[in-house]
Amino acid sequence: MAGSLFEKYGGFRTVSKIVMSFYERALDSDQIGDYFADVDMPRLMDHQTRFISGLMGGPASIGDDRLRQVHRHLGISHADMDEMASLLRETLAGHGVEPADIETLVGEVEARRPLIVTAGAAG
């Protein structure tokens, strides 16, 4: 989509690089690294690339129902989500994403916090 963050930052090629860098940080994180111990990382990175692309206004996205479904069993806490948001901010900044655009993207992720955080959540 013309004028989207997806186009502004170079489309799938850039988003893929951002996602790879994000997971390098996430795997090294004492807070959230263990979530990825037995995960098919190429598959996860493909899904995350489509998710972030969609948040940036690109053609691919992951629906809210799917997002809830894939995170439901993980027991993700608010502290885990906070760490993820921090790592995402660092990663986006490292790839030259402008501060206002970083906040827009992190805001899109934060809007989905209730779909991702399950530890201590009702239901």
Domain borders along the chain are 5-116
- Report angle CA 15, 4, 99 to the nearest 5 degrees: 70
* Spatial contact of 33 and 81, defined as CB atoms under 8 Å apart: no
Residue pLDDT, tens place only, 93-121: 999 999 999 999 999 999 999 999 988 65
10 Å Cβ neighbour count for 39? 12
In one-letter notation, the amino acid at residue 31 is: Q
25-79 pLDDT, tens per residue? 999 999 999 999 889 999 999 999 999 999 999 987 788 898 899 898 889 999 9
Superfamily name with CATH number, domain 5-116: Globins (1.10.490.10)
Residues 34 and 27: their CA atoms lie apart, in Å, by 7
Per the listing, tokens 């948001």 go with 85
